[in-house]
Amino acid sequence: MQGHSHYVPTSGIGKWMDSRLPVPRLVYDSFIAYPVPKNLNYFYTFGAILSFMLIAQIITGVVLAMHYTAHVDLAFNSIEKMMRDVNYGWMLRYLHANGASMFFVAVYVHMFRGLYYGSYKAPREVLWILGVIIYLLMMATAFLGYVLPWGQMSLWGAVVITNLFSAIPLVGPTVVEFLWGGYSVDNPTLNRFFSLHYLLPFMIAGVVVLHVWALHVTGQNNPTGVEVKDVKKDTVPFTPYATIKDAVGLIFFLILFMWFVFFQPTYLGHAVNFVPADPLVTPPHIVPEWYFLPFYAILRAITFDINLIIFTIPSKLGGVLAMFAAIAVLAFLPWLDTSKVKSTAYRPMHKQFFWAFVVVCLILGWLGSKPAEYPYTVLSLIFTGLYFAYFLVVLPLLGLFETPRKLPASIADAVLAKVRKGGAPVTAGAAAAPQTKG
C-alpha cells in the first residue's frame, strides 16, 4: 500500500532537509498523500480520536503533576487544593479524569469496530496484537492513575488489584511485597505508582508509533473487508478526505467529552473516593471504574476450586487466570477466527453472534457493578462462559459452517453499487474521481 514516495520538495530549505533528515517527506507520505479506502465510515475516525486523547491526557497529566504531591499524608489534600486554589485546576483535573473514561469509550468503539470488520485478519495480525498491547498499557495506566488521589476507592482498588498477584504460586507473596515496597499498600506504593503512571503513557505513545507504522504497511481495512486492488479507483488521499472526516468525528466526540467535563464531571467516578484513604475501613462496595467492570465480573465469577485431576487451581488463582485470559484471548483472535471473509457485513451468522457478544460484554459490565451475591455470582459465571465461548467456540466453528454473502469485486464496485441503489444525487464524476475535487 505504501508504494514509492511522490513527495517533491519545492523550497530550497525543503530540498536541503530532504537529503539530510526527510521528516517532511515522512509526514507527506503518511498523512497527506497516504491512500485510504474511499468507503471508510465514521467508525474509522476513532484511531485519530484516540491519538488526540493520548496527547490530551499527556498534556493535562504533565500539568497536574506540577500541583500533585505523591505522599499518603498530602496527596488527597493536594488534589483538593488543585480543585480550589489552582487557576483552572478544577477544569484541568476534570479534563484528565473524564479524559481517561473517554479514552476508554473511544478504545472500545475502536476495538468493536475491528471485531466487526475483521480488521485483525491477515495481513493485519501484528497491527491487532500491538493494539492489544496498547489496551493493556492503557488499563495499567488508568489503574495507577486512579490510585493517586488517595481516596478510599483509590486505596482499596489498589489493595484488591495488587493482591491479585499473591495468587501466583510460590512467589506470589514476595512479588506483592515488591509491588508495595512494604507490608501493605502505603507511601512507597503511592510513590512508585506515581512514577509509573507518568512513565506508561510515553510507552503507549511508543507502541502507538509501531501501531500506525504497521497500519501504514498493510493499509487500512474497510467496511467491505476487500483489499485495495486499484489505488486510483479504490482510495482517496488521506488529506483532505480522512483528515476532515477525522476532524468531524473528533468534534462530535469532544462535545460528549466536554458535556461530561462541564456538566457531569463526577458522574463516572465514585462518591466514596471523596473520603480520604483509610486502611482500617473498607468501603461497603468496592467497584472499579466502569471500563474495568466486565473484567471485574469475570474475576469474581470463579468462586470454586477447579479440579484438573493432576492438580487443583484454587478459586482465587482461577479468577485471576480467567480475568487475564479474557484479555489475552484477544491476541489470539487472528487465528481463532477461521472465516476467510473479513467484514461482518458479508457474514450473516456472525452478524448475530457479534451483536450477541456486545450484549454479553455489556451484561458482564453490569454484573461487575453489582455486589458479590446470588444471583449475580451465578450470572457472572454464565456470562463469563459466553464471553469465552464467542472466542473459543463460535469464531473457530463459524468459519466452517457459515455461508458468506457474495463479496464485491472491489471497493469501488461496492461504493458504486451503493450509490446506484440509494439513488443519491451524486454525479458520476464525483463518485469516480473524488480526489480531483480536493
Partner 1 sequence: MASVQHSEGDRRDFLYLATGATAAIGVGAAIWPFISQLAPDAGTIAAGAPVEIDLAAIPDGGQIKILWRGKPYFVRNRTEAEIKAAVDVDVATLRDPQPDSARVLQGRAKWLIIAANCTHLGCVPLGNQGDYGGWFCPCHGSHFDTSGRIRKGPAPTNLPVPQYTFVNDTRIRITGAAAAV
Shortest spacing between CB 49 and partner 1, in angstroms: 34
Task: Answer yes or no whether residue 191 interacts with partner 1 by CB under 8 A.
Answer: no
Question: Is residue 140 a contact residue for partner 1 (CB under 8 A)?
Answer: no
Among 182, 348, 375, 429, binds partner 1 (CB under 8 A): 182
Smallest separation, CB 302 to partner 1 (Å): 7
Kindly state whether residue 164 participates in binding partner 1, applying the rule CB under 8 A: yes
Which lies closer to partner 1 via its Cβ, residue 264 or residue 282?
282
- Binding residue (CB under 8 A) for partner 1 from 25, 67, 316, 418: 316
Would you say 202 and 137 are in contact if contact means Cβ atoms under 8 Å apart? no
**Residue 216 is a binding residue for partner 1 (CB under 8 A):** no
- For cell 506515581, name the residue: 194
Residues written for the chain: 438
Cα–Cα distance, 23 to 152 (Å, whole number): 48
Q: How far apart are CA 371 and CA 385, in angstroms?
A: 19
Q: Pick the closest to residue 431 from 422, 423, 421, 419 (CA basis).
A: 419
For 338, list phi and psi in degrees, rounded to 5: -95, -5
Q: Given the complex with partner 1, which of 187 and 410 has the nearer CB atom?
A: 187
Nearest to residue 109, comparing CAs of 180, 157, 50?
Answer: 50
From residue 322 to residue 361, the character string flagging contacts with partner 1 as x (rule: CB under 8 A) and all else as - is ----------------------------------------
Question: Quick one: 39 or 152, whose CB is closer to partner 1?
Answer: 152
Tell whether residue 276 is a contact of partner 1 (CB under 8 A): no
* Residue environment code for 51-79, b if the CB has 16+ CB neighbours within 10 A, otherwise e: bbbbebbbebbebbeebbbbebeebbebb
* 88, 123 Cβ separation under 8 angstroms: no
> In terms of Cα–Cα distance, which of 22, 295, 5, 266 is closest to 135?
295
- Does 280 bind partner 1 (CB under 8 A)? Our answer is yes
Does residue 123 belong to the site contacting partner 1 (CB under 8 A)? no
| Least gap, CB of 305 to partner 1 (angstroms) | 8
Contact status: 319 vs partner 1 (CB under 8 A): yes
The least distance separating partner 1 from the CB of residue 174, rounded to whole angstroms, comes to: 9
Does 124 engage in binding with partner 1 (CB under 8 A)? no
Q: Which is nearer to partner 1, 156 or 390 (CB)?
A: 156
Cα(233)–Cα(217) distance, integer angstroms: 19
Choose which of 95, 137, 148, 185 interacts with partner 1 (CB under 8 A).
Answer: 185
Residue 179 binds partner 1 (CB under 8 A): yes
76 within 8 A of 154, measured Cβ to Cβ: no
Are 390 and 364 within 8 A, CB to CB?
no
E strand or H helix at 313: strand 312-313
When binding is defined by CB under 8 A, the residue of 377, 379, 392, 431 that contacts partner 1 is 377
The residue count for binding partner 1 (CB under 8 A) is 40
309: left (phi over 0), alpha (psi -120 to 50) or beta: left
The residues binding partner 1 (CB under 8 A) are: 156, 159-160, 162-164, 166, 173, 176-186, 188, 192, 279-282, 284-286, 300, 302-303, 314-317, 319, 371-373, 377
